[in-house]
Amino acid sequence: MSIVENNRTIPHLSPHLIKTDSVQQSAPSGIIPTRAVFSSNELQVLTQDIKRWGRELGFQDVGITDIDLSDHEAHLKNWLDQGLHGDMEWMAAHGNKRSRPAELVPGTLRIISLRMDYLPADTRQIQILQDKSKAYISRYALGRDYHKLIRKRITQLGKRIEQEIGAYGYRAFVDSAPVLERAVAMRAGLGWIGKNTMLLNHKAGSFFFLGELFTDLPLPVDKPQDKVHCGSCTACLDKCPTDAFLGPHKLDARKCISYLTIENSGPIQEELRPLIGNRVFGCDDCQLVCPWNKFAKFSGETDFLPRHKLDSSELADLFLWTEEEFLDRTAGSPIRRTGFEGWLRNLAVGLGNASSSPKVISALKQRLDSPSELISEHVRWALNQHNAL
Ligand code: SF4
């Protein structure tokens, strides 16, 4: 899972918007105003329906929260102020909108948070990580890009609600806007934020995507999951290959392999390259080691099944894909995010860390004269690891 995406202070209902027993919403600007008046009982029934519809649409959990993210606003600001987000300027670009949902979508009163398991069955994570000739791709990225599927399902939920109650304000999000997804999910009772900064669910570990439906409906909220069930465990902090955790809940993105192989468009620091091993797109180590992931569930979504044997391919074979093959085989895949150049850079690092073999050296030499200095420099580094330059 990438560090940035996904499994990822403001007033409660204002008295002038709410009557004690029946609720009429004022006309918020920016989203469609709710017209109907609902009794508390009707809102309770609607909430149960929303949760059922969400599960029918393939989400494993649905929770509802208000929009008070003040506790997380300070944490985010502190993290950004320390520059721990690296070059991800977009993380800081939206001011307080990330922690103040009603500034992002005016009129928002509630957020419906939804969780969908993504782990494909039989992906043999550990074996691939230990096989230095193979490419390890973060498990969330083996199939089709999740954004489209999840946004479509959440929008369907929004429309299903509309069928039931008429026009109201809603907007679906999946990483597409500055939303503190993990904080929202925690407040909606879907799990707690573990020391590895992922959202953990006691029935499902952390291999799931999150999405949100912002709404102006004053639905009853769920109890936040405010207890962290990590206890004295520090497995994720200890296991991180690049030692990217400064402490519990504090990740230095600049050292995180997910950042280095996906968000970072420049060279990878030399001292970090040997630590990356064969992880060529993202990293799952802090999840794989987490004891809660023994409860992770396999996904039944065909979109999340591995494509083009990306769960078992050799580094050298992937490295020799042409750009056309890359574009063809990663169409509709999260891997597109890194671009062909970034893909080859990452594979060169993986090949530099692989066991020496004629196949590995031959593949590297075929890209030694790449017109991209980014690629050729990483290839030279890799060949040097094999004393083959
Ligand atoms: S590995 Fe341990 S400390 Fe880390 S998130 Fe899981 S339970 Fe918490």
Which residue range(s) make up the domain with 43?
1-313
Q: What distance in Å separates the CA atoms of residue 171 and residue 102, rounded to the nearest whole number?
A: 12
* Contact indicator for 241, 285 with CB cutoff of 8 Å: yes
Domain for residue 381, yes or no? Answer: no
Domain for residue 217, yes or no? Answer: yes
Is the Cβ atom of 288 under 6 angstroms away from ligand 1? no
Domain for residue 323, yes or no? Answer: no
Domain for residue 201, yes or no? Answer: yes
The total domain count for the chain is 1
Ligand 1 pocket test: pick from 195, 198, 238 the residue with the most ligand atoms within 8 Å of its Cβ.
195
Mean pLDDT, residues 311-339 taken together? 96
Domain for residue 274, yes or no? Answer: yes
Please give the pLDDT value at position 36. Answer: 67
Please give the pLDDT value at position 34. Answer: 55
- In this structure, of 100-109, 264-273, 309-318, 332-341, the range with the lowest mean pLDDT score is 100-109
Closest CA to 327 of 314, 313, 311, 343: 343
Residue nearest (by alpha carbon) to ligand 1 atom 2? 233
Residue 18 three-state SS: strand
pLDDT digits (tens, 9 = 90+) for 167-216: 999 999 998 777 889 999 999 999 999 999 999 999 999 999 999 999 99
Domain for residue 265, yes or no? Answer: yes
Domain for residue 333, yes or no? Answer: no
Q: Residues 6 or more apart from 366 whose CB is under 8 A from it?
A: 320
Residue nearest (by alpha carbon) to ligand 1 atom 7? 230
Residue nearest (by alpha carbon) to ligand 1 atom 5? 194
pLDDT digits (tens, 9 = 90+) for 77-88: 787 788 878 777
Mean pLDDT, residues 339-357 taken together? 98
Ligand 1 pocket test: pick from 1, 7, 186, 196 the residue with the most ligand atoms within 8 Å of its Cβ.
196
Residue nearest (by alpha carbon) to ligand 1 atom 8? 230
For residue 293, which atom of ligand 1 is closest to its CA?
Answer: 6
The whole-chain average pLDDT of the chain stands at: 88
Per-residue tokens: 25: 């919403």
Is the Cβ atom of 312 under 6 angstroms away from ligand 1? no
Is the Cβ atom of 196 under 6 angstroms away from ligand 1? yes
Residue nearest (by alpha carbon) to ligand 1 atom 4? 236
- Which listed residue (145, 175, 252, 285) is catalytic? 175
Please give the pLDDT value at position 27. Answer: 37
Is the Cβ atom of 378 under 6 angstroms away from ligand 1? no
8 Cα: distance to centroid of ligand 1 (angstroms): 16
Neighbours of 15 (CB within 10 A): 9
Q: Residues 6 or more apart from 85 whose CB is under 8 A from it?
A: 79, 91, 92, 253
175 flagged as catalytic: yes
Q: State yes or no: pLDDT of 9 exceeds 50.
A: no
In the chain, what are the helix, strand and coil shares in percent, each to the nearest 5? 40, 15, 45
- In this structure, of 12-16, 37-41, 122-126, 216-220, the range with the lowest mean pLDDT score is 12-16
Is the Cβ atom of 234 under 6 angstroms away from ligand 1? yes
Percentage above 70 pLDDT, the chain: 90
282 Cα: distance to centroid of ligand 1 (angstroms): 19
Ligand 1 pocket test: pick from 7, 197, 233 the residue with the most ligand atoms within 8 Å of its Cβ.
233
What pTM, to 2 d.p., does this model score? 0.88
Domain for residue 371, yes or no? Answer: no
Please give the pLDDT value at position 240. Answer: 98
Residue nearest (by alpha carbon) to ligand 1 atom 1? 290
**Interhelix angle for 339-353 vs 373-385, to 10°?**
10
Provide the sign of the torsion angle of the four alpha carbons 72, 78, 81, 86, taken in this order.
negative
Q: State yes or no: pLDDT of 258 exceeds 90.
A: yes
